[in-house]
Amino acid sequence: MRVAYNEQMTELADSLGEMAGLAGAAMERATQSLLQADLTLAEQVIGEHDKITELSALCEERAFALLALQAPVAGDLRSVVSGIQIVADIDRMGALALHVAKIARRRHPNHVLPEEVNGYFAEMGRIAVSIGAAAKEVLETRDPERAARLREEDEAMDDLHRHLFNVQMDREWKHGVAAAVDITLLGRFYERFADHAVEVGRRVIFLVTGQLPAEDGSVTAKRADDLTTYPE
Amino acid sequence: MRVAYNEQMTELADSLGEMAGLAGAAMERATQSLLQADLTLAEQVIGEHDKITELSALCEERAFALLALQAPVAGDLRSVVSGIQIVADIDRMGALALHVAKIARRRHPNHVLPEEVNGYFAEMGRIAVSIGAAAKEVLETRDPERAARLREEDEAMDDLHRHLFNVQMDREWKHGVAAAVDITLLGRFYERFADHAVEVGRRVIFLVTGQLPAEDGSVTAKRADDLTTYPE
Protein backbone atom coordinates (compact mmCIF):
# COMPACT_ATOMS: atom_id res chain seq x y z
CA MET A 1 0.00 0.00 0.00
CA ARG A 2 2.74 2.47 0.97
CA VAL A 3 4.72 1.43 -2.08
CA ALA A 4 1.71 1.96 -4.31
CA TYR A 5 1.17 5.30 -2.59
CA ASN A 6 4.74 6.49 -3.11
CA GLU A 7 4.60 5.28 -6.70
CA GLN A 8 1.43 7.27 -7.24
CA MET A 9 2.98 10.43 -5.79
CA THR A 10 5.99 9.96 -8.05
CA GLU A 11 3.82 9.31 -11.11
CA LEU A 12 1.93 12.55 -10.50
CA ALA A 13 5.15 14.56 -10.12
CA ASP A 14 6.65 12.91 -13.22
CA SER A 15 3.55 13.61 -15.30
CA LEU A 16 3.62 17.29 -14.34
CA GLY A 17 7.28 17.55 -15.29
CA GLU A 18 6.59 15.77 -18.58
CA MET A 19 3.71 18.16 -19.30
CA ALA A 20 5.92 21.17 -18.61
CA GLY A 21 8.50 19.72 -20.99
CA LEU A 22 5.90 19.28 -23.73
CA ALA A 23 4.57 22.82 -23.25
CA GLY A 24 8.08 24.25 -23.44
CA ALA A 25 8.91 22.22 -26.55
CA ALA A 26 5.63 23.33 -28.13
CA MET A 27 6.44 27.00 -27.50
CA GLU A 28 9.95 26.53 -28.87
CA ARG A 29 8.62 25.03 -32.12
CA ALA A 30 5.76 27.54 -32.29
CA THR A 31 8.26 30.38 -32.02
CA GLN A 32 10.40 28.90 -34.80
CA SER A 33 7.31 28.45 -36.97
CA LEU A 34 6.45 32.10 -36.32
CA LEU A 35 9.91 33.49 -37.02
CA GLN A 36 10.57 31.34 -40.10
CA ALA A 37 7.00 30.95 -41.41
CA ASP A 38 7.64 27.20 -41.05
CA LEU A 39 4.35 25.44 -41.71
CA THR A 40 5.70 21.99 -40.85
CA LEU A 41 6.69 23.09 -37.35
CA ALA A 42 3.37 24.88 -36.85
CA GLU A 43 1.49 21.74 -37.90
CA GLN A 44 3.63 19.67 -35.54
CA VAL A 45 2.72 21.88 -32.57
CA ILE A 46 -0.95 21.75 -33.54
CA GLY A 47 -0.91 18.00 -34.17
CA GLU A 48 0.85 17.17 -30.92
CA HIS A 49 -1.23 19.43 -28.69
CA ASP A 50 -3.56 16.58 -27.75
CA LYS A 51 -0.66 14.96 -25.90
CA ILE A 52 -0.68 17.89 -23.49
CA THR A 53 -4.43 17.86 -22.95
CA GLU A 54 -4.35 14.08 -22.42
CA LEU A 55 -1.57 14.41 -19.86
CA SER A 56 -3.55 17.20 -18.24
CA ALA A 57 -6.57 14.92 -17.79
CA LEU A 58 -4.28 12.11 -16.58
CA CYS A 59 -2.69 14.36 -13.95
CA GLU A 60 -6.09 15.46 -12.68
CA GLU A 61 -7.23 11.85 -12.45
CA ARG A 62 -4.05 10.83 -10.60
CA ALA A 63 -4.37 13.71 -8.15
CA PHE A 64 -8.03 12.93 -7.50
CA ALA A 65 -7.31 9.21 -7.05
CA LEU A 66 -4.58 10.04 -4.53
CA LEU A 67 -6.97 12.18 -2.50
CA ALA A 68 -9.77 9.64 -2.74
CA LEU A 69 -7.79 6.48 -1.98
CA GLN A 70 -4.77 7.61 0.02
CA ALA A 71 -5.93 10.69 1.95
CA PRO A 72 -2.42 12.18 1.97
CA VAL A 73 -1.52 14.63 4.74
CA ALA A 74 0.94 17.46 5.38
CA GLY A 75 3.53 17.88 2.61
CA ASP A 76 2.04 15.15 0.48
CA LEU A 77 -1.37 16.81 0.62
CA ARG A 78 0.20 20.12 -0.40
CA SER A 79 1.91 18.34 -3.29
CA VAL A 80 -1.35 16.89 -4.57
CA VAL A 81 -3.36 20.10 -4.15
CA SER A 82 -0.58 22.13 -5.76
CA GLY A 83 -0.45 19.53 -8.52
CA ILE A 84 -4.12 20.14 -9.28
CA GLN A 85 -3.41 23.86 -9.60
CA ILE A 86 -0.15 23.43 -11.50
CA VAL A 87 -1.70 21.19 -14.13
CA ALA A 88 -4.12 23.99 -15.03
CA ASP A 89 -1.22 26.43 -15.52
CA ILE A 90 0.79 24.04 -17.67
CA ASP A 91 -2.32 23.20 -19.68
CA ARG A 92 -2.68 26.92 -20.47
CA MET A 93 1.00 27.17 -21.41
CA GLY A 94 0.40 24.44 -23.98
CA ALA A 95 -2.72 26.21 -25.24
CA LEU A 96 -0.80 29.48 -25.66
CA ALA A 97 1.90 27.72 -27.70
CA LEU A 98 -0.92 26.27 -29.80
CA HIS A 99 -2.33 29.78 -30.38
CA VAL A 100 1.07 30.98 -31.60
CA ALA A 101 1.39 28.03 -33.99
CA LYS A 102 -2.12 28.61 -35.37
CA ILE A 103 -1.38 32.23 -36.14
CA ALA A 104 1.82 31.17 -37.95
CA ARG A 105 -0.17 28.58 -39.91
CA ARG A 106 -2.94 31.01 -40.81
CA ARG A 107 -0.54 33.53 -42.35
CA HIS A 108 1.63 30.94 -44.14
CA PRO A 109 3.31 31.31 -46.61
CA ASN A 110 3.48 34.90 -45.47
CA HIS A 111 5.41 35.88 -42.37
CA VAL A 112 3.19 37.08 -39.53
CA LEU A 113 5.82 39.51 -38.26
CA PRO A 114 7.18 42.61 -39.93
CA GLU A 115 10.99 42.50 -39.94
CA GLU A 116 10.90 45.36 -37.43
CA VAL A 117 9.48 43.21 -34.59
CA ASN A 118 11.15 39.88 -35.38
CA GLY A 119 13.81 40.52 -32.78
CA TYR A 120 11.22 41.12 -30.06
CA PHE A 121 9.56 37.78 -30.70
CA ALA A 122 12.87 35.95 -31.04
CA GLU A 123 13.72 37.23 -27.55
CA MET A 124 10.23 36.68 -26.09
CA GLY A 125 10.38 33.15 -27.49
CA ARG A 126 13.81 32.60 -25.98
CA ILE A 127 12.59 33.75 -22.56
CA ALA A 128 9.43 31.63 -22.86
CA VAL A 129 11.46 28.51 -23.61
CA SER A 130 13.88 29.33 -20.79
CA ILE A 131 11.15 29.99 -18.22
CA GLY A 132 9.29 26.86 -19.37
CA ALA A 133 12.45 24.79 -18.86
CA ALA A 134 12.94 26.45 -15.48
CA ALA A 135 9.37 25.55 -14.48
CA LYS A 136 10.07 21.93 -15.44
CA GLU A 137 13.32 22.01 -13.46
CA VAL A 138 11.52 23.47 -10.43
CA LEU A 139 8.86 20.76 -10.63
CA GLU A 140 11.61 18.15 -10.63
CA THR A 141 13.98 19.66 -8.06
CA ARG A 142 11.38 21.45 -5.90
CA ASP A 143 14.00 24.09 -5.24
CA PRO A 144 12.11 27.09 -3.79
CA GLU A 145 14.98 29.52 -4.46
CA ARG A 146 15.00 28.57 -8.13
CA ALA A 147 11.20 28.80 -8.15
CA ALA A 148 11.35 32.33 -6.78
CA ARG A 149 13.79 33.35 -9.54
CA LEU A 150 11.19 32.55 -12.22
CA ARG A 151 9.81 36.00 -11.48
CA GLU A 152 13.00 37.65 -12.76
CA GLU A 153 12.60 36.02 -16.16
CA ASP A 154 8.95 37.04 -16.17
CA GLU A 155 9.97 40.65 -15.59
CA ALA A 156 12.25 40.50 -18.62
CA MET A 157 9.26 39.22 -20.60
CA ASP A 158 7.06 42.03 -19.31
CA ASP A 159 9.68 44.62 -20.31
CA LEU A 160 9.80 43.25 -23.85
CA HIS A 161 6.01 43.20 -23.94
CA ARG A 162 5.89 46.89 -23.01
CA HIS A 163 8.54 47.78 -25.59
CA LEU A 164 6.55 45.90 -28.20
CA PHE A 165 3.53 48.10 -27.46
CA ASN A 166 5.84 51.09 -27.84
CA VAL A 167 6.82 49.99 -31.32
CA GLN A 168 3.20 49.50 -32.34
CA MET A 169 2.09 52.84 -30.93
CA ASP A 170 4.85 54.65 -32.82
CA ARG A 171 3.45 57.00 -35.46
CA GLU A 172 5.97 55.46 -37.83
CA TRP A 173 4.17 52.09 -37.70
CA LYS A 174 3.61 51.20 -41.35
CA HIS A 175 2.47 47.60 -41.17
CA GLY A 176 -1.24 48.15 -40.88
CA VAL A 177 -3.93 46.98 -38.50
CA ALA A 178 -3.97 43.27 -39.39
CA ALA A 179 -0.30 42.91 -38.39
CA ALA A 180 -0.93 44.98 -35.26
CA VAL A 181 -3.79 42.68 -34.23
CA ASP A 182 -1.65 39.56 -34.71
CA ILE A 183 1.27 41.11 -32.85
CA THR A 184 -0.95 42.25 -29.98
CA LEU A 185 -2.34 38.75 -29.56
CA LEU A 186 1.08 37.12 -29.91
CA GLY A 187 2.64 39.46 -27.37
CA ARG A 188 -0.17 38.65 -24.97
CA PHE A 189 0.32 34.90 -25.51
CA TYR A 190 4.04 35.05 -24.69
CA GLU A 191 3.43 37.25 -21.66
CA ARG A 192 0.76 34.90 -20.33
CA PHE A 193 2.95 31.85 -20.98
CA ALA A 194 5.58 33.35 -18.67
CA ASP A 195 2.93 34.33 -16.08
CA HIS A 196 1.78 30.72 -15.88
CA ALA A 197 5.37 29.51 -15.43
CA VAL A 198 5.75 31.95 -12.51
CA GLU A 199 2.52 30.61 -11.06
CA VAL A 200 3.95 27.07 -11.24
CA GLY A 201 6.92 28.35 -9.28
CA ARG A 202 4.65 29.90 -6.63
CA ARG A 203 2.82 26.62 -6.23
CA VAL A 204 6.07 24.70 -5.84
CA ILE A 205 7.15 27.16 -3.15
CA PHE A 206 3.87 26.45 -1.38
CA LEU A 207 4.17 22.71 -1.62
CA VAL A 208 7.72 22.80 -0.26
CA THR A 209 7.33 25.46 2.42
CA GLY A 210 3.60 25.47 3.17
CA GLN A 211 3.68 29.22 2.51
CA LEU A 212 2.25 30.74 -0.63
CA PRO A 213 4.36 33.77 -1.63
CA ALA A 214 2.76 37.12 -0.85
CA GLU A 215 1.99 37.54 -4.55
CA ASP A 216 -1.10 35.44 -4.00
CA GLY A 217 -3.18 38.58 -3.75
CA SER A 218 -0.95 40.84 -5.75
CA VAL A 219 -0.17 38.51 -8.63
CA THR A 220 -3.43 39.34 -10.30
CA ALA A 221 -2.94 43.04 -9.73
CA LYS A 222 0.69 42.80 -10.75
CA ARG A 223 -0.28 41.09 -13.99
CA ALA A 224 -2.86 43.75 -14.65
CA ASP A 225 -0.20 46.38 -14.13
CA ASP A 226 2.25 44.55 -16.36
CA LEU A 227 -0.35 44.49 -19.03
CA THR A 228 -1.72 47.96 -18.73
CA THR A 229 1.33 50.09 -18.05
CA TYR A 230 2.56 49.80 -21.61
CA PRO A 231 3.57 53.25 -22.81
CA GLU A 232 0.81 55.39 -24.25
CA MET B 1 -17.63 17.61 14.10
CA ARG B 2 -20.18 16.74 11.41
CA VAL B 3 -21.82 20.08 11.94
CA ALA B 4 -18.50 21.88 11.63
CA TYR B 5 -17.78 19.80 8.54
CA ASN B 6 -21.09 20.63 6.86
CA GLU B 7 -20.64 24.26 7.80
CA GLN B 8 -17.20 24.28 6.21
CA MET B 9 -18.53 22.73 2.99
CA THR B 10 -21.28 25.35 2.91
CA GLU B 11 -18.84 28.18 3.60
CA LEU B 12 -16.65 27.09 0.69
CA ALA B 13 -19.62 26.92 -1.68
CA ASP B 14 -20.91 30.29 -0.48
CA SER B 15 -17.51 31.93 -0.92
CA LEU B 16 -17.26 30.66 -4.49
CA GLY B 17 -20.71 32.01 -5.29
CA GLU B 18 -19.83 35.34 -3.69
CA MET B 19 -16.62 35.50 -5.73
CA ALA B 20 -18.53 34.83 -8.94
CA GLY B 21 -20.94 37.61 -8.01
CA LEU B 22 -18.09 40.06 -7.44
CA ALA B 23 -16.41 39.11 -10.73
CA GLY B 24 -19.69 39.58 -12.62
CA ALA B 25 -20.35 42.94 -10.93
CA ALA B 26 -16.78 44.03 -11.73
CA MET B 27 -17.22 43.17 -15.41
CA GLU B 28 -20.57 44.98 -15.50
CA ARG B 29 -19.02 48.17 -14.08
CA ALA B 30 -15.88 47.79 -16.20
CA THR B 31 -18.04 47.57 -19.32
CA GLN B 32 -19.98 50.69 -18.32
CA SER B 33 -16.71 52.52 -17.65
CA LEU B 34 -15.51 51.44 -21.09
CA LEU B 35 -18.67 52.42 -22.96
CA GLN B 36 -19.18 55.73 -21.17
CA ALA B 37 -15.55 56.66 -20.39
CA ASP B 38 -16.68 56.71 -16.76
CA LEU B 39 -13.55 57.13 -14.64
CA THR B 40 -15.41 56.73 -11.34
CA LEU B 41 -16.70 53.29 -12.30
CA ALA B 42 -13.28 52.26 -13.60
CA GLU B 43 -11.66 53.34 -10.33
CA GLN B 44 -14.32 51.45 -8.38
CA VAL B 45 -13.53 48.21 -10.24
CA ILE B 46 -9.79 48.74 -9.71
CA GLY B 47 -10.20 49.70 -6.05
CA GLU B 48 -12.46 46.76 -5.21
CA HIS B 49 -10.41 44.12 -7.02
CA ASP B 50 -8.58 43.16 -3.84
CA LYS B 51 -11.86 41.81 -2.47
CA ILE B 52 -11.81 39.16 -5.19
CA THR B 53 -8.18 38.18 -4.64
CA GLU B 54 -8.77 38.02 -0.88
CA LEU B 55 -11.80 35.77 -1.36
CA SER B 56 -9.72 33.70 -3.76
CA ALA B 57 -7.08 33.10 -1.08
CA LEU B 58 -9.80 32.41 1.50
CA CYS B 59 -11.45 29.80 -0.76
CA GLU B 60 -8.12 28.05 -1.31
CA GLU B 61 -7.46 28.00 2.43
CA ARG B 62 -10.93 26.64 3.15
CA ALA B 63 -10.60 23.92 0.53
CA PHE B 64 -7.17 22.92 1.81
CA ALA B 65 -8.38 22.87 5.42
CA LEU B 66 -11.28 20.63 4.45
CA LEU B 67 -8.93 18.17 2.77
CA ALA B 68 -6.44 18.29 5.63
CA LEU B 69 -8.86 18.05 8.55
CA GLN B 70 -11.96 16.33 7.19
CA ALA B 71 -10.69 14.01 4.43
CA PRO B 72 -13.99 14.28 2.51
CA VAL B 73 -14.95 11.44 0.19
CA ALA B 74 -17.10 10.83 -2.89
CA GLY B 75 -19.26 13.82 -3.83
CA ASP B 76 -17.84 16.01 -1.08
CA LEU B 77 -14.30 15.32 -2.29
CA ARG B 78 -15.34 16.22 -5.84
CA SER B 79 -16.87 19.44 -4.50
CA VAL B 80 -13.66 20.45 -2.75
CA VAL B 81 -11.35 19.52 -5.64
CA SER B 82 -13.65 21.25 -8.11
CA GLY B 83 -13.73 24.23 -5.77
CA ILE B 84 -9.94 24.49 -5.95
CA GLN B 85 -10.17 24.58 -9.75
CA ILE B 86 -13.19 26.87 -9.87
CA VAL B 87 -11.59 29.49 -7.64
CA ALA B 88 -8.76 29.86 -10.18
CA ASP B 89 -11.26 30.46 -12.99
CA ILE B 90 -13.26 33.03 -11.05
CA ASP B 91 -10.03 34.74 -9.97
CA ARG B 92 -9.13 35.15 -13.66
CA MET B 93 -12.61 36.49 -14.43
CA GLY B 94 -12.01 39.19 -11.86
CA ALA B 95 -8.57 39.94 -13.30
CA LEU B 96 -10.03 40.27 -16.81
CA ALA B 97 -12.65 42.77 -15.56
CA LEU B 98 -9.77 44.66 -13.92
CA HIS B 99 -7.89 44.74 -17.24
CA VAL B 100 -10.95 46.25 -18.96
CA ALA B 101 -11.31 48.92 -16.26
CA LYS B 102 -7.61 49.81 -16.49
CA ILE B 103 -7.81 50.35 -20.23
CA ALA B 104 -10.85 52.60 -19.71
CA ARG B 105 -8.96 54.54 -17.03
CA ARG B 106 -5.83 54.88 -19.16
CA ARG B 107 -7.71 56.48 -22.05
CA HIS B 108 -9.93 58.71 -19.92
CA PRO B 109 -11.24 61.35 -20.65
CA ASN B 110 -11.12 59.91 -24.16
CA HIS B 111 -13.29 56.99 -25.15
CA VAL B 112 -11.32 53.81 -25.85
CA LEU B 113 -13.78 52.65 -28.48
CA PRO B 114 -14.53 54.17 -31.85
CA GLU B 115 -18.31 54.65 -32.23
CA GLU B 116 -18.20 51.92 -34.86
CA VAL B 117 -17.42 49.12 -32.36
CA ASN B 118 -19.36 50.40 -29.33
CA GLY B 119 -22.23 48.07 -30.13
CA TYR B 120 -19.95 45.04 -30.18
CA PHE B 121 -18.63 45.75 -26.72
CA ALA B 122 -22.05 46.64 -25.35
CA GLU B 123 -23.18 43.18 -26.47
CA MET B 124 -20.01 41.38 -25.36
CA GLY B 125 -20.39 43.08 -21.99
CA ARG B 126 -24.03 42.04 -21.79
CA ILE B 127 -23.11 38.41 -22.52
CA ALA B 128 -20.22 38.53 -20.04
CA VAL B 129 -22.48 39.78 -17.26
CA SER B 130 -25.13 37.21 -18.18
CA ILE B 131 -22.70 34.28 -18.30
CA GLY B 132 -21.08 35.47 -15.06
CA ALA B 133 -24.50 35.52 -13.37
CA ALA B 134 -25.22 32.07 -14.82
CA ALA B 135 -21.93 30.75 -13.40
CA LYS B 136 -22.92 32.10 -9.99
CA GLU B 137 -26.37 30.53 -10.34
CA VAL B 138 -24.81 27.19 -11.33
CA LEU B 139 -22.49 27.32 -8.31
CA GLU B 140 -25.52 27.86 -6.08
CA THR B 141 -28.00 25.46 -7.69
CA ARG B 142 -25.49 22.87 -8.97
CA ASP B 143 -27.84 22.29 -11.89
CA PRO B 144 -25.82 20.37 -14.52
CA GLU B 145 -28.28 21.16 -17.34
CA ARG B 146 -27.94 24.88 -16.66
CA ALA B 147 -24.17 24.43 -16.40
CA ALA B 148 -24.07 22.78 -19.82
CA ARG B 149 -26.01 25.71 -21.32
CA LEU B 150 -23.20 28.13 -20.41
CA ARG B 151 -21.53 26.92 -23.59
CA GLU B 152 -24.31 28.43 -25.72
CA GLU B 153 -23.67 31.89 -24.30
CA ASP B 154 -19.95 31.38 -24.84
CA GLU B 155 -20.62 30.60 -28.51
CA ALA B 156 -22.50 33.89 -28.87
CA MET B 157 -19.46 35.61 -27.36
CA ASP B 158 -17.12 33.83 -29.77
CA ASP B 159 -19.27 34.88 -32.73
CA LEU B 160 -19.10 38.53 -31.65
CA HIS B 161 -15.35 38.18 -31.13
CA ARG B 162 -14.93 36.92 -34.70
CA HIS B 163 -17.10 39.72 -36.09
CA LEU B 164 -15.02 42.23 -34.18
CA PHE B 165 -11.88 40.95 -35.92
CA ASN B 166 -13.75 41.32 -39.18
CA VAL B 167 -14.41 44.97 -38.49
CA GLN B 168 -10.78 45.62 -37.61
CA MET B 169 -9.47 43.80 -40.68
CA ASP B 170 -11.73 45.83 -42.94
CA ARG B 171 -9.78 48.07 -45.30
CA GLU B 172 -12.13 50.85 -44.27
CA TRP B 173 -10.76 50.81 -40.68
CA LYS B 174 -9.84 54.43 -40.01
CA HIS B 175 -9.15 54.42 -36.28
CA GLY B 176 -5.46 53.64 -36.32
CA VAL B 177 -3.27 51.08 -34.65
CA ALA B 178 -3.55 52.29 -31.03
CA ALA B 179 -7.32 51.76 -31.08
CA ALA B 180 -6.85 48.40 -32.82
CA VAL B 181 -4.44 47.25 -30.11
CA ASP B 182 -6.86 48.26 -27.32
CA ILE B 183 -9.78 46.63 -29.10
CA THR B 184 -7.82 43.42 -29.74
CA LEU B 185 -6.93 43.14 -26.05
CA LEU B 186 -10.45 44.04 -24.91
CA GLY B 187 -12.02 41.49 -27.24
CA ARG B 188 -9.66 38.87 -25.91
CA PHE B 189 -10.53 39.79 -22.30
CA TYR B 190 -14.27 39.40 -22.87
CA GLU B 191 -13.80 36.14 -24.74
CA ARG B 192 -11.61 34.70 -21.98
CA PHE B 193 -14.05 35.88 -19.30
CA ALA B 194 -16.76 33.78 -20.94
CA ASP B 195 -14.37 30.83 -21.38
CA HIS B 196 -13.68 30.79 -17.65
CA ALA B 197 -17.40 30.88 -16.88
CA VAL B 198 -17.87 27.83 -19.14
CA GLU B 199 -15.03 26.13 -17.28
CA VAL B 200 -16.83 26.78 -13.98
CA GLY B 201 -19.86 25.07 -15.49
CA ARG B 202 -17.79 22.06 -16.54
CA ARG B 203 -16.40 21.71 -13.02
CA VAL B 204 -19.89 21.90 -11.51
CA ILE B 205 -21.01 19.15 -13.90
CA PHE B 206 -18.08 17.07 -12.66
CA LEU B 207 -18.77 17.66 -9.00
CA VAL B 208 -22.44 16.75 -9.44
CA THR B 209 -22.10 13.81 -11.83
CA GLY B 210 -18.54 12.62 -11.31
CA GLN B 211 -18.09 12.95 -15.07
CA LEU B 212 -16.10 15.75 -16.64
CA PRO B 213 -17.71 16.74 -19.96
CA ALA B 214 -15.86 15.49 -23.04
CA GLU B 215 -14.53 19.02 -23.56
CA ASP B 216 -11.87 18.24 -20.98
CA GLY B 217 -9.48 17.44 -23.76
CA SER B 218 -11.10 19.50 -26.47
CA VAL B 219 -11.79 22.68 -24.55
CA THR B 220 -8.28 23.91 -25.10
CA ALA B 221 -8.42 23.03 -28.77
CA LYS B 222 -11.90 24.51 -29.08
CA ARG B 223 -10.72 27.74 -27.51
CA ALA B 224 -7.77 27.86 -29.84
CA ASP B 225 -10.17 27.42 -32.75
CA ASP B 226 -12.49 30.11 -31.45
CA LEU B 227 -9.59 32.44 -31.23
CA THR B 228 -7.87 31.63 -34.46
CA THR B 229 -10.70 31.13 -36.92
CA TYR B 230 -11.48 34.82 -37.06
CA PRO B 231 -11.86 35.82 -40.70
CA GLU B 232 -8.66 36.74 -42.49
Spell out the long-range contacts of A64-73 with Cβ–Cβ below 8 A and sequence spacing 24 or more.
Answer: A64/B77, A64/B78, A64/B81, A65/A8, A66/A5, A66/A8, A66/A9, A66/A12, A67/B67, A67/B77, A67/B81, A68/B73, A68/B77, A70/A5, A70/A8, A71/B71, A72/A5, A72/A9, A73/B68
Q: Which residues contact A40 (CB under 8 A, 6 or more apart)?
A: A33
Q: Which residues of B touch A97 (CB under 8 A)?
A: none
Q: Which residue has the higher pLDDT, B26 or B212?
A: B26
Query: Is the minimum CB–CB distance between A177 and chain B shorter than 8 Å?
Result: yes
Give me the residue spans of the domains in chain A: 2-221
> Distance between CA B189 and CA A208 in Å, rounded?
33
Query: Is the minimum CB–CB distance between A226 and chain B shorter than 8 Å?
Result: no
Dihedral class, residue A210 (left if φ above 0, else alpha if ψ from -120 to 50, else beta):
left
Q: Is the pLDDT of residue A1 over 90?
A: no
pLDDT in tens, B52-80: 999 999 999 999 999 999 999 999 999 99
pLDDT band, very low/low/confident/very high, at A212 (cuts 50, 70, 90): confident
Q: Which residues contact A165 (CB under 8 A, 6 or more apart)?
A: A187, A230, A231, B181
Q: Which residues of A touch B78 (CB under 8 A)?
A: 64
pLDDT in tens, A188-203: 999 999 999 999 999 9
Query: Is the minimum CB–CB distance between B69 and chain A shorter than 8 Å?
Result: no
Work out the minimum CA distance from B230 to partner chain A, whole angstroms: 10
Tell me which of A67, A181, A211, A230 to substitute to probe the interface with B (most B C-beta atoms closer than 10 Å): A181
Query: Is the minimum CB–CB distance between A43 and chain B shorter than 8 Å?
Result: no
Closest CB to B98 among A81, A173, A224? A224
Q: Is the pLDDT of residue A20 over 50?
A: yes
Work out the minimum CA distance from B146 to partner chain A, whole angstroms: 24
Interface of B with A in 97-116 (CB under 8 A): 98-99, 102-103, 106
Q: Which residues of B touch A53 (CB under 8 A)?
A: 216-221
Tell me which of A69, A184, A211 to substitute to probe the interface with B (most B C-beta atoms closer than 10 Å): A184
Strands (DSSP E) along chain B, which ranges? Answer: none
Q: For domain B2-221, give the CATH superfamily.
A: Phosphate transport system protein phou homolog 2; domain 2 (1.20.58.220)
